[in-house]
Amino acid sequence: MVGSLAKYVARSPRYILQPDDNTLIRLAGPQQTPWEEGTEIRNISLTGLAFTAPLDLAPIVGEVIKIQFAPPQKNEMACYGLVTRMENLRSGSVLVAIKFLKLDFPQRLYLAHALSLRLREQQERERHVELNFRWREKLPQMILAWFLLGLWMITLWAWMSGFLSFAANQAAR
């Protein structure tokens, strides 16, 4: 049960990589040569990242690995990471979550700048999609409201015209 609760611990906001982002990650364990075949970054934050790896090449939980990756729209950076969680995926690969270790201040600043730009863009896109969806959702109600307003105004105009002509006829008598 502890393993299932681990993913609900308070974490930094995650940036989910987009198709135009570089998703490759190169990694090496203590006794391994670096490899990147079949790896793909899924999401990244200031404190860590999650990536997929083939089951046979995946590191183990608690292992310290060296990783090299490119933050969104930035040049590559290298650092160490501690494997904190692994989840089996249906495709025969595993999702590996790591926590960054020993990030220098310039590295942390570099990563923070890249993520802040991309998170802002992502929030802007989500807000735009939400506004478009809300407008489309309300369109039938707005059309009905305008139709009823027009019908009410025509009825009011007809009633007033009838009332005025009735009053004019009464005044003429």
Where exactly are the structural domains of the chain? Answer: 2-124
- The pLDDT assigned to 42 comes to 86
| Residue 95, CA distances (Å) to 15, 63, 129, 137, 144 in order | 16, 15, 29, 37, 50
Three-class DSSP category at 6: helix
- The pLDDT assigned to 82 comes to 92
pTM: 0.61
User: Which token pair is 45?
Assistant: 């934050």
User: Which token pair is 140?
Assistant: 């039938």
Bridge partners (DSSP) listed for residue 15: 44
Three-class DSSP category at 153: helix
Rounded to a whole number of angstroms, the distance between the first and last alpha carbons of the chain is: 93
What is the phi/psi pair of residue 43, to 5°?
A: -150, 160
Three-class DSSP category at 154: helix
- The pLDDT assigned to 22 comes to 63
- One of 1.10.10.10, 2.40.10.220, 3.30.70.2470, 3.40.50.300 is the CATH number of 2-124, namely 2.40.10.220
Under 8 Å CB-to-CB from 49, ≥6 apart: which residues? 25, 41, 42, 43, 67, 69, 81, 97, 98, 100
Other beta carbons within 10 Å of 86: 18
Q: Distance between CA atoms of 162 and 154, rounded to whole angstroms?
A: 12
Residue 160, amino acid: M
Average pLDDT for 16-31: 69
pLDDT digits (tens, 9 = 90+) for 63-119: 898 888 888 777 888 889 999 999 988 888 899 999 999 888 988 888 888 888 887
166 compared with 8, residue with greater pLDDT: 166
21 compared with 71, residue with greater pLDDT: 71
Task: Give percent of the chain above pLDDT 90.
Answer: 10
Quick one: pLDDT band at residue 9, thresholds 50, 70, 90? low
| Phi-psi label, residue 92: left if phi above 0, alpha if psi -120 to 50, beta otherwise | left
Q: Distance between CA atoms of 98 and 43, rounded to whole angstroms?
A: 11
27-36, 84-93, 96-105, 130-139: which range is least confident on average? 27-36
42-46, 98-102, 135-139, 151-155: which range is least confident on average? 135-139
User: Which token pair is 145?
Assistant: 């409201």
- The pLDDT assigned to 7 comes to 58
Quick one: pLDDT band at residue 5, thresholds 50, 70, 90? low
